[in-house]
């Protein structure tokens, strides 16, 4: 006497593949993060409005209404932070020479030296540094 499985195979029925096997994918190896990897060479997160903007620059200011350092042009104009406080020209709009301030005079990008790793502010990590 043959088992039911053998009888079905003899009759011409085939076993179906396991449906879970079709959905399995090969595991992707992730690169190891080292100190040599620069995660964000160019900052684009405005700490004042909490948005990703193409015109974010570093400002050292004495405005008591905000503690943000990396501020977009819109927020800098609303907070009335002068362009003399701007320390970088690293944003997309600065690189493309489209950076314009509505509050006061806009300094040209040629006045800013390239930001080096040692010039970047040091302090506690807030998710954007």
The arithmetic mean of pLDDT across residues 9-22, rounded, is 78
Average pLDDT, the chain: 80
Q: Is this model's pTM higher than 0.75 or not?
A: no
The residue that leads in pLDDT, 116 or 5, is: 5
Rounded to whole angstroms, the Cα distance separating 91 from 56 reads: 6
User: Which pLDDT band holds residue 97 (cuts at 50, 70, 90)?
Assistant: confident
Q: Encoding tokens for residue 45?
A: 């997160």
pLDDT at 114: 54
Residues 65-91: tens digit of each pLDDT: 999 999 999 999 999 999 999 999 988
Helix, strand or coil, per DSSP, at residue 56: coil
């Amino acid at each position: 006497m043959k088992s039911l499985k053998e009888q079905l195979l003899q009759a011409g029925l085939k076993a179906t593949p396991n449906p879970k096997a079709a959905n399995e994918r090969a595991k992707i190896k992730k690169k190891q993060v080292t100190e040599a990897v620069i995660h964000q060479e160019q900052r684009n997160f405005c700490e004042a409005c909490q948005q990703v903007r193409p015109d974010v620059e570093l400002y050292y200011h004495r405005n008591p209404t905000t503690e943000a350092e990396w501020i977009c042009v819109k927020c800098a104009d609303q907070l009335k932070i002068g362009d003399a406080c701007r320390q970088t020209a690293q944003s997309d709009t600065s690189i493309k020479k489209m950076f314009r301030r509505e509050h006061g005079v806009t300094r040209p990008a040629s006045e800013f030296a390239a930001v080096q790793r040692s010039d970047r502010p040091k302090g506690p990590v807030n998710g954007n540094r």
